[in-house]
Amino acid sequence: MDKLLKNKLVACIAWNAMALLAISMQTTDTLEAFLNDNVDFVHHLGMKGIWIFAIMIMVNIIMQFVIAAFDSLKTRIVSLGVTAFYTVFMIIHQVTHLISGDRFDIHFCFDLLHHTFGIIAIIAIYKQIQICKSKKAE
pLDDT digits (tens, 9 = 90+) for 40-57: 665 566 778 788 889 999
- What is the pLDDT, as a whole number, of residue 50? 82
Cβ distance 114 to 22 under 8 Å? Answer: yes
Give the separation between CA 15 and CA 60, rounded to whole angstroms.
6
Q: Which residues contact residue 71 at a Cβ distance below 8 angstroms, ignoring those fewer than 6 apart? A: none
Give the domain ranges of the chain: 3-137
- Across the range 1-21, mean pLDDT stands at 95
pLDDT category at 6 given cuts 50, 70, 90 is very high
- What is the pLDDT, as a whole number, of residue 75? 95
Amino acid code (one letter) for 71: D
- Across the range 107-133, mean pLDDT stands at 95
Cβ distance 6 to 55 under 8 Å? Answer: no
- Across the range 14-41, mean pLDDT stands at 84
Q: Which residues contact residue 88 at a Cβ distance below 8 angstroms, ignoring those fewer than 6 apart? A: none
- What is the pLDDT, as a whole number, of residue 136? 80
Which region among 69-73, 84-88, 125-129 has the lowest average model confidence (pLDDT)? Answer: 69-73
